[in-house]
Amino acid sequence: MNTDVLSTRQVATLLGVGEATVKRWADAGEIDCFRTPGGHRKFRLRDVTAFVQKRQYQTAGPLPAAVPQGADELGEPAIRHFGEAALRGDAPALVAQLAGLRLRGHSLAELFDEIATPALHRIGDEWAQGKLSVAEEHVAAQAVIDAVARSQPLAEPPGEPVRADRGTAVVAAVAGELHDIASRMAACLLRAQGFEVLAPLAQTPARDLAALILRARASVVALSSTISSEVGEQVATCVTAAEQTGGRVVVGGEGMRKANLPADAKLLGSLREMETEARGAGRQPARS
């Protein structure tokens, strides 16, 4: 049985409403919760997902139950379902799908890698082929951005807000890069590990990024790029700055794979790899 537990704040973030609304739903019995000895409401992820499914919460299409369970639940049906919801601009449906699959035991990093990223690549390819307009591509991208922001509770440890005691992570897309959704996903996962995240995101000049790394004394620097032009030089500037803070630099994206990278920048193939790499960086969280 999955026993993930969310706070009122986390449920509010997940559903995109205020905490007072979540408390009102809970007190009215619309969404199941239980109380701690101190009187705080706590919510099991399965009950939040059941609420979403029962209410058809602001969604226009099928919810996670429509995605087949089993070996293919991260395959083509799930990718297509995610992409269709993104093109409708339906961020709540995207959150509902991620929550449903998270409930089945998949990590958020896995869902970003296996569903969200392939769906976004497909949408990008269709735009490049003239099958989608710029407006349609922008609607889809914004829906995913909103869903990533709301999905923060799915990445966090159960029950309590994350303490930012691992040091600082700087997350950005390199200068010239217009797409920063991968960086937003990385920032979400790093916050869940206890890092204070500074995320200048898209089109950050290397000189400014290096100054931020130094000022924040970053212990992790995560960079992404879909373009390869001059990327190696930008990464090298960040590596030089990170060497002065004792931080490690990890990079990802198609542009990074094609670039001439400095030896001290670690090229990663997925957000799951980034999550694993980050566990060994920064101050380790105190054990209770």
Q: Enumerate the domain spans of the chain.
A: 5-155, 168-279
Q: Evaluate whether 252 touches 202 at the Cβ level (below 8 Å).
A: no
Give Cβ neighbours of residue 125 (< 8 Å, ≥ 6 apart).
none
Which pair of structure tokens corresponds to residue 165? 């005691």
Pick the CATH number of 5-155 from 3.30.930.10, 1.10.1240.10, 3.30.559.10, 3.90.1170.50: 1.10.1240.10
The HSE-up count of residue 197 (CA atoms within 13 Å, CB side) is 22
pLDDT of 64: 44
Instruction: Note the pLDDT of residue 86.
Output: 97
State the pLDDT at residue 53.
66
Q: Given this model, what pLDDT does residue 75 score? A: 85
**Residues of the chain scoring pLDDT < 70:** 1-4, 53, 55-72, 157-164, 282-288
Q: What are phi and psi of 174, to 5 degrees?
A: -70, 165
What phi and psi, each to the nearest 5 degrees, are found at residue 203?
Answer: 55, 50
pLDDT computed for residue 179 by the predictor: 87
Give pTM, 2 decimals: 0.81
Q: Given this chain, do its domains 5-155 and 168-279 carry the same CATH topology?
A: no
160: Cβ–Cβ under 8 A, 6 or more apart, which residues?
Answer: 7
Say how far apart CA 55 and CA 89 lie, in whole Å: 19
**3-class SS of residue 109:** helix
Pick from 217, 185, 203, 50: nearest CA to 115:
185
The CATH superfamily label for domain 168-279 reads Cobalamin-binding domain (3.40.50.280)
Q: Is residue 158 within 8 Å of 3, Cβ to Cβ?
A: yes
Beta-bridge partner residues of 220: 169, 248
Write out pLDDT tens, residues 121-178: 999 999 999 999 999 999 999 999 999 998 888 887 655 555 557 899 999 998 888 8
Structure tokens at 218: 């970053």
Non-local CB neighbours of 218 within 8 Å, separated by 6+ positions: 167, 168, 169, 170, 198, 212, 242, 245, 247
Which DSSP letter does residue 244 get? H
Q: Parallel, antiparallel, or unpaired: how do β-strands 248-252 and 220-224 relate?
A: parallel
CA atoms within 13 A on the CB side of 182: 31
- The pLDDT of residue 2 is 37
What is the per-residue pLDDT across 263-284, written as a single tens digit (0 to 9) for each? 999 999 999 999 999 888 866 5
